[in-house]
Structure formats: structure tokens, C-alpha cells
Amino acid sequence: MDKAARIILGRSRIISNLRRLIVANWRTLEQKVSDAGPNHMRVDPHILTESKKRLIAEERIIPINDGQVEWYALQETPQNLVEEKLSELRPIYQALSKGGVHERIGQSLEIAFYLAAKDCPQYELLGGIDLSQRKGRNQLYDKDEPSSSISGKMISGRRKLDFLLRHPEAGYAGLEAKNIREWVYPDRNEVKQMLQKCLELNVVPILLARRIHISTFYVLKKCGVIVWQNFNQLYADIDEEVALQAKHKDKLGYHDIRIGHNPDSKMIKFATIDLSTYLPEARRKFEEYKDLLNAYAFGKNSYRLFAARVKRRFQGALEDFDQEQEDLYPAEEDYFEDF
């Protein structure tokens, strides 16, 4: 199915979901259209965004700005039904956005990886989490942060990676766990910031997230970045009540929420078998493409130019081309398709 057809499909699925849901935020619509349904009916978020823009321009759907979040409803939906639904959804969304819940969501994926990897004999995990009790106003577990410097190299500012790994063959690697609802695309700030930290320390980058777009795999894997998606957003046990409300199909509809931070079999396999297997080859690729990663992460090259250069180097083609040739390349968002 070409891009134009998928935009049309995205329009249709947004409309059909809003007819049933009455009101939804963008993450709910992504969940319903991009994550759920038969494979041939799914529309990736960057395409779905174009569908949404066209529906808003045509006034088929109406955006409702609520300060924290934008909600959407069909233009023909009676206002009293919209307000009634919003009164049900707002408290759930606000509860998820509160500091304590939000911070615990962020830590839950870190804990799951820590539990899966802490006793792995193939590498040393640097950085730990004390799970004996929660402390602090947000009831977070205490964390032993990994060092921000290695062999004289240092991460700028006060930033740190979630974990460092020391592998006997590949050397050091740095891991970031992003337990967020958004799909991770290669042009996101979270990706650039992770790359910056890893490049400053000269460690192989590892990214964990709920959902990661295939272009992120294709572009970054060629550069030695290890990318793994969890397919679940993890919530702390203490937040079970609000998590179940968010998960309900007729509320926020975040159907992939999982309560608790114990790693499942997929994560245990990734942490104890796959990661150690991937790291030596990832180190080789990281060294080969480090210059391109550096130029992209620190803003010298756009994503479009970065992706083009990675592709040409991988294919053994000449990487340097003038502005006229660069203009012949697809627009930036098309590289989410083309790579």
C-alpha cells in the first residue's frame, strides 16, 4: 500500500474510532490505529499524523486544547456527549501526569532490565537499584547511578546514562530505558541525547522502549546502536488502580500496560543472551559509523542528511554530494519509509 493510500486508511480509522470513543487524545488514537488491529489495517504514527492534519484542516475532527493535552472529537458529535466523555477521561490523564506516577513509570522499565541483567555472567552491569524500599516524595526506589566518566572521557553537564555495561570483548556500552507511550523514531530528542552521552564516553549505545519504529532499527542498527522494544508500558504496583483505568478499552485504551516491574521471558532472553551476542559486532559498527553519529547527534547534520550518508556508506557508495544532489533525496519523513 503506497503512502497516499495509507493516509486515506488513517483518516478512515481515526473517524471510526472517534465515532465509538466520542473523545480521544492522540496517544489513544495511535494505540487504536498504529498498535492494534489487523496488520494490514495499521498505520504508522508519522503517516497517521498526516491523516489527522488533513481531517483538522477539513474540520472533520475538532481539536480541544486542555492545557496538558489535546483531545479530538468528530465535528458532528453533540457537545454534551463530548463534555460528558471529557469529564471521565480528564481525571485519568491528570493522574498519569502527576509527578509520582510519572516518575514511577519512568523507573519501572529500568527496574525490569536491572532484574533481568544484574546477575548475567557475560558482562558486568554498572549501576543498581535498591528494591528493599521506596524513598522520597515520589516513592521511587533508590538508584546507584553509573559513573558519568570512563578513562578520562566525561558526559557533559550533569547527565548520566541509566546503566553502563562492561563486556569482555566489546568494552563498555551505555543503556537508556524509555518507558514512554510515543513510538521512538530516529529523529527524536531522546535518541539524540542518548547518542550524545554514549559518544562522549565512547560506549556502544543501547536503547530500550515500548515501541520503536522500524526506521529506527534500520538506520541505527547499521551504526552499531542496539535497539530493543518491550511492547508493554510498565507501571508500578502502587499505581495499579489508575493503570487499569488507563488500560480500559473505552477510556484511554492503553491496552499494552502491564502492572509490575518483573521482567518477562523476552526481556530476560534479551538481557542474558541476545545482548552479549550483539555487543561485539555492535562495537565494530559503532566505530565505523561514529563520525556520522556524532555529526547527527550534535546537530551538524540533519536527520535527512544523516540517513542518506549512512545508507550510502552501507551500500559502498560515495557519501559526499552537493546541495543540488541532496535536494533530489526524499523529504525527511520519507526516510522513515525508504531506509
pLDDT over 70 (residue 327):
no
The domain 3-76: what is its CATH number?
1.10.10.10
pLDDT tens digits, 222-240: 999 999 999 999 999 999 9
For residue 324, the model assigns a pLDDT of 45
Q: What is the pLDDT of residue 339?
A: 45
Which pLDDT belongs to residue 52?
98
pTM recorded for the entire structure = 0.92
- pLDDT above 90 coverage of the chain, percent: 81
For the cut 90, the answer to whether the pLDDT of residue 170 exceeds it is: yes
* In the chain, where the domains are located: 3-76, 100-278
**Mean pLDDT for all residues in the chain:** 92
Lowest mean pLDDT among 70-79, 92-101, 210-219, 329-338: 329-338
Predicted confidence at residue 251, as pLDDT, reads 95
CB contact at 8 A, 48 and 30 = yes
